[in-house]
Amino acid sequence: MILHNGPIYTMDPRLPQVRALAVAGALIAGGVDVREGDSDTVGHERIDLDGRCVLPGFTDAHVHFLDWALERTWLDLHGCRSLADACAAVAAATGGDGWLRGKGWLEATWPDGPPHRAALDEVTGERPAALWAHDHHTLWVNSAALRAAGAEHPTGVLQEWDAWRFPVPPATSLERSQALREGMAVANARGVIGVHDFQAHGGRGLWQRYDADRRLTLRVAMSIPLPAIEAAKALELRTGFGGDLLRMGPVKAFMDGTLGSRTAWMLDGSGEQLLSEDDLADGIAEASACGLAVAVHAIGDGANRAALNAFHRTRELWQQALLRPRIEHAQCLDDADLPRFAELGVIASVQPVHATSDRDLADEIWGERAAKGYRTRDLLDSGAHVVFGADPPIEELDPMAAIQAAVHRTLDDREPWHPAQRIPVADAISCHSAAAAYAVGEERRRGCLLPGLEADLVVLDTDIVAHPERIAGARVVATMLAGRWVHGRPPW
């Protein structure tokens, strides 16, 4: 097929824009001439873009996909501005049987907080309730949930490992499969052709089943948690192992908590240290020895420094293994540490939407240090490899929102937050496409719209490269994965 009559951006600086794009099977074909009557194009399907814009398909480089897919049906508490608001929302949803699951509350914004199990008990009665905070590092449960779990807790508010280990009954196999299928369709409708999945528990078997059944409509890099490294080692699994759509990703480690839960590890000693620099260095060495890259969650400036130190100490090992380490989030960076990403070759995997949703909280908790947060422009200018994600279910899986946040540093009618960190729209698109492919070692296969690479693309109704002021209103018209339409098959 041949796409023509609209702006087509390759995201390769050597050939940034082309007049037409030919797709042969799963790949981008060579250059074509689409003039009427040209014998070379006879028999080819012609798709008239009618001014629509073509970009490489988007990859979200940090997703907890099954959690996000399942939580799309949970009680959403994002809009609750007080403990009273949250309890009222819970009260309105308490009808029914089984556990009440919710997400999105942010206690730091509540004038009448903090949350407590007693407040939930008043509106839930004997129905167990488990409500995740916005950052998914704090869990609020009621007394019925504690009794069901055979646990005791004075407040019912658990953080970090205590929260993650709390035995909330899992979804059934059918619920998980249905959620995954519906989640893929939503992702495709938003221009997403790939995800780097950091799902902590479950999901890997589902990805494999969907891949075996040829039902995958995403490219998936599937991570494993650091505690599972011995199992991966025993099976001789390596980063990059897999097929065309499903591959093994990095090992995931946690250095600290989050801004919202006030557990980010800061240089002043505040926050929570989930992993020491020495322990991380040992984990990187072990992973490198068996060909596994490491991705480290680091929010605070203390956590980021410790992670960079650990990568520096083990540099020879992961470089010899041809691995690409990464730091996930990299939210607060001391000036001395920012250039180390480029110097070491550590990828910064950041979430631009966090900067817009966390701005008030960062100003409140970090104060002047908030100016050292979410430094997308500084990282790019330093020469670091930067990739974009949204961290679903923390934020919604929506690359267009991430691009808007990176370009404008605001998603509402407020002034841009630290506008010096705004970046050009082409850079934002590249962070969701070419850079994301590089992060998993696939830059020679995909990420740009060049001959010989995979035909992964998205069609927008608006040319956001020429008109970045129109990003907010731009709509995904169609999405193609490996030469097949997975959303919005033409004619449009």
Helix ranges (DSSP H) in 321-382: 340-344, 352-357, 359-366, 376-381
Banded model confidence at residue 31, pLDDT cuts 50, 70, 90: low
Residue 34 pLDDT greater than 90, yes or no: no
Residue 90 pLDDT greater than 60, yes or no: yes
All residues at 6 or more sequence positions from 177 whose CB lies less than 8 Å from its CB, including other chains: 206
Percent of the chain with pLDDT over 90: 92
Banded model confidence at residue 167, pLDDT cuts 50, 70, 90: very high
CB atoms within 10 A of CB 175: 13
Q: How far apart are the first and last CA of the chain?
A: 15
- Span 427-466, pLDDT tens digits: 999 999 999 999 999 999 999 999 999 999 999 999 999 9
Encoded tokens for 252? 């995931």
192-197 and 219-225 as β-strands: parallel, antiparallel, unpaired? parallel
- Rounded to whole angstroms, the Cα distance separating 39 from 42 reads 5
Residue 282 pLDDT greater than 70, yes or no: yes
What mean pLDDT is predicted for residues 155-159?
96
Amino acid at 138: T
Structural domains of the chain sorted by starting position, each given as residue range(s) with its CATH number in brackets: 1-56+449-492 (2.30.40.10), 59-65+172-446 (3.20.20.140), 74-164 (3.10.310.70)
**Helices H / strands E in the chain, number of each:** 18, 21
Banded model confidence at residue 43, pLDDT cuts 50, 70, 90: low
Banded model confidence at residue 96, pLDDT cuts 50, 70, 90: confident
Encoded tokens for 260? 């919202």
- Whether the Cβ atoms of residue 195 and residue 180 lie closer than 8 Å to each other: no
Give the pLDDT score at 109: 81
- Rounded to whole angstroms, the Cα distance separating 93 from 101 reads 10
Give the pLDDT score at 330: 98
- Span 47-56, pLDDT tens digits: 999 999 999 9
- Going from the C-alpha of 448 to that of each of 125, 151, 193, 216, the distances in angstroms are 55, 52, 13, 21
Residue 306 pLDDT greater than 70, yes or no: yes
Encoded tokens for 270? 């505040």
Helix ranges (DSSP H) in 3-73: 65-71
DSSP string covering 92-121, please?
HT--SSS-EEEEEE-GGG-TT----HHHHH
- Whether the Cβ atoms of residue 410 and residue 356 lie closer than 8 Å to each other: yes
Alpha carbon of residue 49 to chain centroid = 30
Residue 246 pLDDT greater than 70, yes or no: yes
In 3D, which of 221, 278, 276, 229 has the Cα closest to residue 60? 221
Per 3-state DSSP, what percentage of the chain is helix, strand, and coil (rounded to 5)? 35, 20, 45
What mean pLDDT is predicted for residues 199-206?
90
Banded model confidence at residue 318, pLDDT cuts 50, 70, 90: very high
Give the pLDDT score at 95: 79
Give the pLDDT score at 39: 42
Encoded tokens for 220? 């998936």
CB atoms within 10 A of CB 213: 8
Percent of the chain with pLDDT over 70: 97
- Span 396-422, pLDDT tens digits: 999 999 999 999 999 999 999 999 999
What mean pLDDT is predicted for residues 319-344?
98
Encoded tokens for 355? 């900067």
Give the pLDDT score at 32: 53
What mean pLDDT is predicted for residues 174-184?
97
Banded model confidence at residue 80, pLDDT cuts 50, 70, 90: very high
- pTM of the predicted protein model: 0.91
| Average pLDDT value for the chain | 95
Give the pLDDT score at 59: 98
HSE-up (13 A, CA, CB side) for residue 66: 21
Which DSSP symbol is given to 242? B
Amino acid at 168: V
Residue 477 pLDDT greater than 90, yes or no: yes
